[in-house]
Amino acid sequence: MMILHYVRLEMIRILRDPGYLVMSLISPLTMYLVFTNLDLTGQGDDAGLYSMVGMAAFGAVGAVMTNGVAISEDKPLGWIRQLRLLPMRPVDVVLGRTLCAMAVALPPIVAVCLAGGLVNGVSLPAGRWAAVFALLWLGIAPMAVLATGFGYLLTAQKAQMAGLVCYMGLSLLGGLWFPISKFPGWLAHVATATPINRYGQLSWRVIDGSAPAPAAVLVLAAWAAAFTAFAVYAYRRSTRTA
C-alpha cells in the first residue's frame, strides 16, 4: 500500500506543473500532421498508420524523459531526504516514479491516435485500437525507467541533455520518424537493437494484423531489466549524497 500512496503523491506534484504536458502534445501532433500530409515517410496510403504509431511513441518518449528532468530538479529541494524517511525499498521508489512517468505518457498517445482517426481517417477494428493503445502505453516502461535513473543520477542540466539525446536521437534511429528500411543496411541492424525500434514494432505489427514479434518483446524486456538495475543504482547513490 505504501507504494500506491507514493504514486498518488507524485502524481499530485506532477499535475501541479502541466507545462511539459503541453510540449509533449504539441511536438508529436504537429509532426504527425506534417509527416502524413507531405508523406515524408514515403509510405503512401499507409503513412497515416505508420506515422500515427511513430508519433504517438515519440510523444510518449518525450513525456517520460521530461519526467526524469523533474526528478533531478527535486534533489536540491531535499525531496530525496524526505523519501529516505519512508519504509520503501529503492526498487519500490523506482517503480513508483516509473508508473508516474507512464501515466504522463498517456496524453500524447491518446492525442495522436485521436488525430489519426478523426483527421487522417485511420480505421482499425476496435480490438486493434485497444491493442495499439495498450502496447504504446506498456511498451514505454523501459524508457520511463531509464528517465527515472537519469533523474536520480544526474543534475537537472545533465538530465535534460541526456533526455534530449534519447528523445530525439533514439527516436530517429529507432524508426519513429522514418522506416528503418530506408536506412543503410548496417544502420538498420543497429536500429533493431534499440528499445525504441522494438517499442514501435509492437504496434506496427498489430495494425498490420499480426501479433507482436517474440524477439521484440524479449529485446524490450532485456532493456527494461538493464534500465531498472541502473535506476536502482542511481537512486541508492542519490540517497548517499543527499
Residue-wise pLDDT tens digits, 84-119: 666 677 788 788 888 888 888 888 999 999 998 888
- Contact by Cβ (8 Å): 141, 224: yes
Domain spans in the chain, listed from the N-terminal domain onward: 2-9+17-241
Map grid coordinates 498508420 to a residue.
49
User: What pLDDT is recorded for position 13?
Assistant: 62
- Long-range residue pairs from 102-106, CB within 8 A, at least 24 positions apart, any chain: 102/64, 102/137, 102/140, 102/141, 102/144, 103/11, 103/14, 104/14, 104/20, 104/21, 104/24, 104/63, 104/64, 104/66, 104/67, 105/59, 105/60, 105/63, 105/64, 105/137, 105/140, 105/144, 106/137
* Position with higher pLDDT, 205 vs 2: 205
pLDDT single digits (tens) 149-183: 998 898 889 988 998 898 899 999 999 998 898 88
Q: Which three cell numbers stand for residue 58?
A: 515519440
Cα separations in angstroms, 215 against 73, 212, 222, 239: 37, 9, 11, 36
Amino acid at 25: L
Average model confidence (pLDDT) across the chain: 84
Measured distance CA(33)–CA(119) in Å, rounded: 9
